[in-house]
Amino acid sequence: MDAIPVDGGITSEASNWVFDEHVAPHFDEHVRKSVPEYDRVQELAATFSDWFTHNGSTVLDFGASTGETIRRIRERHSKTLDLIGFDNSQAMIEQAAKKGVDVRFQDLERLTKIPAFSYGVALYSLQFLRPQARQRLVYAIAEAIEPGGGFFVVEKVLGSYPTTQDIIQQLYWDMKIRNGLTPVQVLNKVHALRGCMYPKTIAENEAEFRAAGFSQVELVFKDLQFCGWLLIR
């Protein structure tokens, strides 16, 4: 199948978006064009760690990509933290290694043994898991997190109604074009993501978080199709 251009240095295939060697070297730049307030989300991920870490804490990143979030958390604290990322892309792990970040190869759909941790993040990663695998992982995370621990999740979401879904979707595409992507590149990314992403509504996300055992589910970020929750066990 012919490669389709998604961004300046990134190509993919229809219905086969993967974070491979064609994506990883350009990922940090591409995600800023295609995700609203990406740096603000990274700032929040690092800042929330203030409340949930102490000397000796374990911090986990589920879907760490190039290790940018872990890098920011590491640079924020003088306390001793065990910072571990999981990702299923060797190309992403190689990019993380350049930042001196510990990201380990792991398919999140098959992750069963999670070490106890006090703070964790999953930024734009649960949405790529098939529904049953995602539910298993969310439940396993809730089981592994320390009582009172925090978990910051950011997801692409579906609108609650057909009309608002259509409006928000089109505003999201407008944002990408303002950020320098062409209409063809935007449409190509849509084609690449077919069958690779499984977003939910806000209500569906929150129902799953509560069912998994998180006692506090707070919506702390929203911009167009993206929402972030701070979950507390």
Q: Please list the residues that pair with 4 across neighbouring strands.
A: 12
How many whole angstroms separate alpha carbon 145 and alpha carbon 142? Answer: 6
What pLDDT does 36 receive? 92
Residues 110-152: tens digit of each pLDDT = 998 899 999 999 999 999 999 999 999 999 999 999 999 999 9
What pLDDT does 194 receive? 83
Tokens, residue 131: 């529904």
Tokens, residue 60: 């986990």
Q: Higher confidence at residue 139 or residue 5? A: 139
How many whole angstroms separate alpha carbon 8 and alpha carbon 119? Answer: 35
Model-wide pTM > 0.85: yes
Tell me the H-state helices in the chain.
27-34, 38-52, 68-76, 90-98, 131-144, 162-178, 183-193, 202-212
What pLDDT does 6 receive? 67
Residues 47-95: tens digit of each pLDDT = 999 999 999 999 999 999 999 999 999 999 999 999 999 999 998 899 9
- CATH architecture, domain defined by 4-232: 3-Layer(aba) Sandwich (3.40)
Tokens, residue 129: 């898991």
What pLDDT does 124 receive? 95
